[in-house]
C-alpha cells in the first residue's frame, strides 16, 4: 500500500465559494428544508419496496439482545429504510438506488496531524485489526431507536497505528462522493461532501467503532458500506457512512448539520433526554418494531463508559 503525505483536508470553502455557500444555507432555512424534512438517521419502520435487499449472513443474530436486554432489530427494518441524502431524501428509496453502489474496492486515507499518514485498503484494515462482534443501540434525533449487531474494530486501533501528534485534538471524517452512483449529490442545497467530527478523546474511546459489517455479513451500501463510523452514545447522524477520509486536526472541524442548522444540531450531539430539540422532546423514544415509547437514557445508556469525557461541561450549551 502506498503511503500518502497529504497534511490538510478539503475545506468547505474550497468546494463552494463562501458567499454561494452562505446563500445556499439561508435558502435551506427559508424554504423549510431543514425544518420539514431532516430526520437525520435511519430510524423508522416502513413498508419495504419491491427492490431486493441483502439477507443477513447470520440469521441467529436476530435472537440476540444488547446489554440492557433490548432485542436486535429485524434486518429488513434496518436495511430497507435508510437516511442517506447522497442517494435520495426518500428513506424507502435509498436501498433501490444503492443497489449498484460499489463498495469494493474501498480505501480510506488517514492523514493530517499524524506521524504515519497512510491510505489503507479495507481488506487490509480487516486483516490488521480483526473485526469483532458488537451489539450497539443507536438513537435518532427524532426519537426513534434500534439495536444492531455490528462487526468492526475500535477506531482507536487505527489512530494508534498512524500516531497522532501533540497538535491533534479532533478527528474529521468525510464521506465518498460519486455523482454517477449517488444521484442525491445533484441537490446542491447541501454542502457536500458530508463531513462529521469528534474530539480526539471521543474517537479514542473503546465504544467508537469503525464498522465493516452487520448481521454477520458485509456492510450493505445503504447502511454505510464500505466503512462506517458508529458512535452509540450520540444521535445517529454523527455515525457517518461511507468513510473515505479520516483527518487529524487541531480545531473543531465543520460538520454538515451543525453548519446548516447550528441551533438544532450541535457538534457534540450526545443523546440527552434533558435537552429537547427545538421542535420536539427528546425525553422518550420508540424502538423500531414496538408500539410503546420508552424513556430515553442519558448518553443512550452508555453513561458509565463516556460520561467522564464531559466532566465540567454544560451539556445544554455544548449540545
Look-up: residue for cell 471524517? 173
Total structural domains within the chain: 1
User: Does a structural domain hold residue 186?
Assistant: yes
- The closest alpha carbon to 140, from 263, 45, 14, belongs to 45
Supply the pTM of this predicted model.
0.85
For helices 122-129 and 155-162, the axis angle rounded to 10 degrees is 100
3-state secondary structure 204-249: HCCCCEEEEEECCEECCHHHCCCCEEECCCEEHHHCCCCEEEEEEE
Residue 99: pLDDT band (50, 70, 90) is very high
Mean pLDDT over all residues of the chain? Answer: 86
Q: Which residue has the cell 422518550?
A: 284
What would the grid cell of residue 283 be? 425525553
Is 6 within a domain? no
Q: What local confidence, expressed as pLDDT, does residue 132 receive?
A: 96
Average pLDDT (121-125) is 98
Pair 152, 211: CB distance under 8 Å: yes
Quick count: other Cβ atoms within 10 Å of Cβ 29?
13
In a domain, 181, yes or no: yes
What does the pLDDT look like over 162-207, one tens digit per residue? 999 999 999 999 999 999 999 999 999 999 999 999 999 999 999 9
Tell me if 59 is assigned to some domain: yes
The verdict on residue 92 lying in a domain is yes
Structural domain for 267, as ranges: 12-310
Q: What pLDDT does residue 62 have?
A: 87
Q: Is residue 244 part of a domain?
A: yes
Q: Is residue 226 part of a domain?
A: yes
d(CA 109, CA 4): 8
Nearest by Cα to 241 from 230, 252, 249, 250? 230
Is there a domain that residue 319 lies in? no
pLDDT at 256 over 70: yes
**pLDDT tens digit sequence for 146-156:** 999 999 999 99
Query: Cβ distance 34 to 260 under 8 Å?
Result: yes
CATH code of residue 76? 3.90.420.10
Amino acid at each position: 500500500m502506498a503511503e500518502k503525505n497529504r497534511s490538510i483536508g478539503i475545506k468547505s470553502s474550497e468546494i463552494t465559494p463562501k458567499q454561494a455557500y452562505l446563500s445556499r444555507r439561508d435558502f435551506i432555512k427559508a424554504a423549510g428544508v431543514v425544518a420539514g424534512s431532516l430526520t437525520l438517521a435511519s430510524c423508522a419502520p416502513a413498508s419495504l419496496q419491491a427492490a431486493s435487499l441483502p439477507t443477513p449472513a447470520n440469521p441467529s443474530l436476530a435472537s440476540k439482545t444488547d446489554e440492557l436486554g433490548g432485542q436486535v432489530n429485524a434486518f429488513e427494518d434496518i436495511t430497507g429504510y435508510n437516511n442517506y441524502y447522497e442517494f435520495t431524501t426518500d428513506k424507502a428509496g435509498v436501498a433501490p438506488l444503492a443497489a449498484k453502489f460499489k463498495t469494493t474496492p474501498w480505501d480510506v486515507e488517514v492523514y493530517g496531524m499524524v506521524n504515519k499518514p497512510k491510505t489503507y485498503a479495507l481488506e487490509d484494515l480487516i486483516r490488521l485489526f480483526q473485526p469483532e462482534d458488537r451489539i450497539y443501540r443507536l438513537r435518532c434525533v427524532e426519537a426513534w431507536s434500534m439495536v444492531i449487531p455490528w462487526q468492526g474494530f475500535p477506531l482507536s486501533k487505527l489512530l494508534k497505528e498512524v500516531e497522532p501528534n501533540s497538535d491533534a485534538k479532533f478527528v474529521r471524517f468525510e464521506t465518498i462522493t460519486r455523482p454517477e452512483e449517488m444521484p442525491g449529490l445533484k441537490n446542491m442545497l447541501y454542502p457536500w461532501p458530508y463531513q462529521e467530527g469528534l474530539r480526539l478523546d471521543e474517537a479514542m474511546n473503546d465504544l467508537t467503532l469503525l464498522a465493516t459489517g452487520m448481521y454477520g455479513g458485509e456492510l450493505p451500501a445503504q447502511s454505510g458500506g464500505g466503512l462506517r463510523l458508529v458512535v452509540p452514545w450520540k444521535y445517529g447522524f454523527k455515525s457517518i457512512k461511507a468513510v473515505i477520509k479520516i483527518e487529524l486536526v487541531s480545531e473543531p472541524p465543520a460538520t454538515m448539520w451543525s453548519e446548516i442548522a447550528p441551533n438544532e444540531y450541535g457538534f457534540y450531539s450526545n443523546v440527552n433526554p434533558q435537552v429537547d430539540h427545538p421542535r420536539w422532546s427528546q425525553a422518550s423514544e420508540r424502538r423500531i418494531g414496538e408500539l410503546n415509547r420508552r424513556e430515553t437514557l442519558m448518553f443512550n445508556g452508555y453513561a458509565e463508559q463516556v460520561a467522564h469525557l464531559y466532566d465540567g461541561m454544560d451539556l445544554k450549551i455544548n449540545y
